[in-house]
Amino acid sequence: MKENSGVLFSLGRDNEPVNGCTISKTILSHGDSGVVLFTLAKDSDISPEQYTTPKLFLCLEGDVHIVQPGPDTDFILKKQDAVLVSNDNPVGVYAAEDSVLLEFTAPADAFAKAMEYGEVFKLDELAPFRKEQIVNRDLITSGDMKFVLMAMDEHTELAEHIAPKEVLLFGLEGEGEITCEGKKHTLLPGENFKFAAHDKHAVKAVKPFKMALLMDLDK
Looking at 95, 123, 151, the residue that finishes a domain is 123
Residue 2 domain-assigned (yes or no)? no
23 and 85: one domain?
yes
152-179 average pLDDT score: 95
Residue 74 domain-assigned (yes or no)? yes
Q: What is the pLDDT of residue 2?
A: 84
**180-200 residue pLDDT tens:** 999 999 999 999 999 999 999
148 and 82: one domain?
no
Residue 1 domain-assigned (yes or no)? no
Q: What is the mean pLDDT of the chain?
A: 94
* Structural domain count of the chain: 2
For residue 20, pLDDT over 90 is answered with yes
Q: What is the pLDDT of residue 150?
A: 98
57 and 17: one domain?
yes
119-139 average pLDDT score: 96
Q: Residue 219: which pLDDT band, with cuts at 50, 70 and 90?
A: low
28-37 average pLDDT score: 93
42 and 138: one domain?
no
113 and 152: one domain?
no
Per cent of the chain over pLDDT 70 is 99
Q: What is the pLDDT of residue 49?
A: 93
107 and 130: one domain?
no
Q: Which of 127-131, 159-163, 166-170, 173-177 has the lowest mean pLDDT?
A: 159-163
Residue 198 domain-assigned (yes or no)? yes
Q: What is the pLDDT of residue 143?
A: 85
Residue 108 domain-assigned (yes or no)? yes
Looking at 93, 123, 153, the residue that finishes a domain is 123
49 and 139: one domain?
no
**Which residue range is the domain that position 90 belongs to?**
8-123
142 and 165: one domain?
yes
Q: What is the pLDDT of residue 31?
A: 86
Looking at 123, 149, 168, the residue that finishes a domain is 123
**77-119 residue pLDDT tens:** 999 999 999 999 899 999 999 999 999 999 999 999 999 999 9
Q: Report the CATH number at residue 95.
A: 2.60.120.10
Q: What is the pLDDT of residue 207?
A: 96
Return d(Cα 61, Cα 78) in angstroms, integer: 7
Say what the pTM is.
0.95
Q: What is the pLDDT of residue 217?
A: 87
165-173 average pLDDT score: 96
136 and 86: one domain?
no
Residue 64 domain-assigned (yes or no)? yes
24-37 average pLDDT score: 94
179 and 91: one domain?
no
Listed as own residue / partner, the contacts of 121-130 with beta carbons closer than 8 Å and 24 or more positions apart are: 121/81, 121/82, 121/83, 122/80, 122/81, 122/82, 123/58, 123/80, 123/81, 123/82, 123/149, 123/172, 123/212, 124/80, 124/149, 124/151, 124/172, 124/173, 124/210, 127/151, 127/210, 129/153, 129/208, 129/210
CB 4 within 8 A of CB 20: no
Q: Residue 138: which pLDDT band, with cuts at 50, 70 and 90?
A: very high
